[in-house]
A and B are shown apart, each in its own frame.
Chain A
Amino acid sequence: MLAATDISFAYGRRTRHGPANRLRQGSGAQEAGHYVLQDYVLQDVSIEVEHGTIVGLLGPNGSGKTTLLRVVAGILPPLSGRVLISGQPIEQLTRRELARRVAVVPQETHSTFDFSVMDMVLMGRYPHLGPFELEGAADQEIAREALMATGTAALETRAFATLSGGEKQRVIIASALAQASEMLLLDEPTAALDLGYQFEIAALLRRLNAERGTTMIVSTHDLNLAAALCEHIVLLKGGRVLAHGPTKDTLTAENIRWLYDVDADVQFHQRAGHLTVVPIARAY
């Protein structure tokens, strides 16, 4: 189980992977410590993710979804609050140990150089290898399995840069699978994909969850994807949790209006087998 408790975060101090901007000091605004309150990206956010479940993270642009995923992945250290994985605080784990437990699928991956699909997937083995250790037969095998599981085995020798958006995303998911972590964090995994690929990725995630019991947190703007995929959802607005709970109780017309200022119809759809959201109009 993963539990993030009372997470607050503001950009502006040195983070673990590079210097960030210094925040502008308070000019009449409310101040807490050195940080101006309005600059908080996350404020007292708590989420709990049960083992083997898929949790959806919904919220408008700038609501803190990506930042929350980064904090949970240990990429950004929170200003306050803590993240526990199976009861263990993540700051007690080394980067490599953490990477063996949590893998991240970023929104988009650009490769500056000409890596093959196999190269990309083998990079997922990094936290399992010693500093100068090369990937062995076992690692190759794990990488092939990951390619198989994501339906990309035929692409093995292709150059990553020449793949379509959907293929790329599946290869990156394969690379995260090769990392052999118990948990997968996906940041808007379908944002750059067309309708067909969106369904493909959703089916893949559902299958991985069913077959391997992989725990997932999926941030998305696609309400229907969340309805189809997630048992629980967390609604994030302005860096705070607006509501959370089982999808059927939380994904309501009322919450959607609060979240996005959009009027929407939410109905159970017989053929789809889950709730569907039809946005109607902007509503203030």
Chain B
Amino acid sequence: MAGFGTLALAACLFAPLVGSTRIHLSAVFDRSMPYADNIDAQIFFVARLPRVLAALLVGSALALSGVVFQALLRNPLASPDTLGVSAGASLGAMMAITFTFSFSLLGISAVPLASFAGSLGALTIVYGLSTARRRGTSAIVLLLGGVTVQALLSAVIAFVQYLADFTQTFRNVRWLMGSLDVASYAPIGAALVPMAIAWAGFATLPRVLDLISLGSESAAARGVNVERTERVALVSASLATGAAVSLAGPVSFVGIIVPHLVRLIVGADHRLVLPASALFGGAFLIGCDLVARTIIAPLELPVGIVTAIIGGPVFLWLLFRRA
């Protein structure tokens, strides 16, 4: 756990040093120079740190959601991507951006709100479908439902794009690839409120997820309030996914490969898996973003392309390992 913490912290400190202009950590924290004259510190804190923090938040939120979905649905293939939750969040966020919604609730602005509504909506459909039969959740219905909802929502997203004007469409396409083009602290602040609520929800879950992953009836027989847990878990995961997507678009594969890699290292106990996934998910996305903005510099690749290119083969390897 300390290892994962160190990794995440190191990623936060060193990723901002890399970029088109070279800066040095010693210069950034050089107190002898006033901040106004310290170019290194300004690049570090203004130009690069917001982006790195956004990556940390998004990566950890997607990884946490993945862990929760996998345990709750007793399905190692569940993730925000495969359940169509990311697609729902994308649709919500994109409608809010395209049609410039301007409402807010409890300090959460329109884009994260619409994103949350979309993710919760998609999840409700998929989860409702798979639990409609009397005997618990059906894995096949769940995954087929997820794929179908995702395809359906993609069509609706395409439709919304079609209605938007040309420059808007171009921005939307970029955004849908999953991009951490964050250049100020404002969007991070906006996503922080729903994420904090989600974290509070996740914090109640670790041991209960262990028990629920063995079956909801045996969990109930051991004293777990299964219905309440499911509600907390699904709403928290929807909030986290919604906030992540509203910040960076649907960055794929993080929610599925990070939990599996973490389990390979720390085992199955969710009291370790949950915090370790949050840290490793953040560090992983910071790393991917580092690749994305340096590999064809000065051009920046959308980070979703990098996560998919790294995540796809890793996921296939995990599948191969299981079989």
Contacts and interface: CB of A to CB of B under 8 A. Distances in A.
Given A11-B134, A114-B267, 7 more contacts: A17-B216, A94-B223, A95-B224, A102-B221, A104-B217, A112-B213, A179-B222
A127 interface: yes
A179 B267 CA distance: 23
Given A114-B263, A126-B223, A18 B268 contact: no
A70 interface: yes
Given A18-B230, A114-B263, A123 B214 contact: yes
B220 A17 contact: yes
Nearest to B216: A17
Contacts of B224: 95, 126
B75 A112 contact: yes
Nearest to A70: B217
A75 B223 CA distance: 10
Nearest to A135: B207
Interface string A69-98: 010011100000000000000000011111
B268 A113 contact: yes
Contacts of B221: 73, 75, 99, 102-104, 106, 185
B263 A127 contact: no
Interface string B264-308: 000111010000000000000000000000000000000000000
A114 B265 CA distance: 11
Contacts of A110: 74, 214-215
B268 A16 contact: no
A20 B134 contact: yes
Contacts of A120: 214
A112 B227 contact: no
A199 interface: no
Interface string A222-251: 000000000000000000000000000000
A73 B220 CA distance: 9
Contact of A18 (B207, B211, B223, B227): B227
Nearest to B78: A112
A124 interface: yes
A280 B231 CA distance: 52
Contacts of B269: 115, 119
B217 A112 contact: no
29 contacts: A17-B220, A17-B227, A18-B131, A18-B216, A18-B227, A19-B131, A20-B134, A21-B134, A70-B217, A75-B217, A75-B220, A94-B223, A95-B220, A95-B225, A102-B221, A104-B217, A104-B218, A106-B217, A110-B215, A112-B213, A113-B213, A113-B263, A114-B267, A115-B268, A116-B267, A123-B210, A123-B214, A126-B223, A134-B271
Given A99-B221, A104-B218, A119-B269, A21 B76 contact: no
Contacts of B225: 95
Interface in B123-158: 131-134, 136
A83 to B, nearest CB: 14
A111 interface: yes
A18 B268 CA distance: 25
A68 to B, nearest CB: 14
B226 interface: yes
B204 interface: yes
Nearest to B207: A126
List 9 A-B pairs, minimum CB-CB distance, nearest first.
Answer: A99-B223, A127-B223, A104-B221, A113-B268, A96-B223, A17-B226, A112-B74, A75-B220, A115-B268
Nearest to A102: B221
A259 to B, nearest CB: 25
A33 interface: no
B236 interface: no
B70 interface: yes
Nearest to A114: B268
Nearest to A134: B271
A11 B204 CA distance: 30
A19 B135 CA distance: 10
A65 interface: no
A95 B218 contact: no
B227 A21 contact: no
B268 A119 contact: yes
A129 B222 CA distance: 11
Interface string A20-36: 11000000000000000
B134 A98 contact: no
A102 B223 CA distance: 10
A99 to B, nearest CB: 3
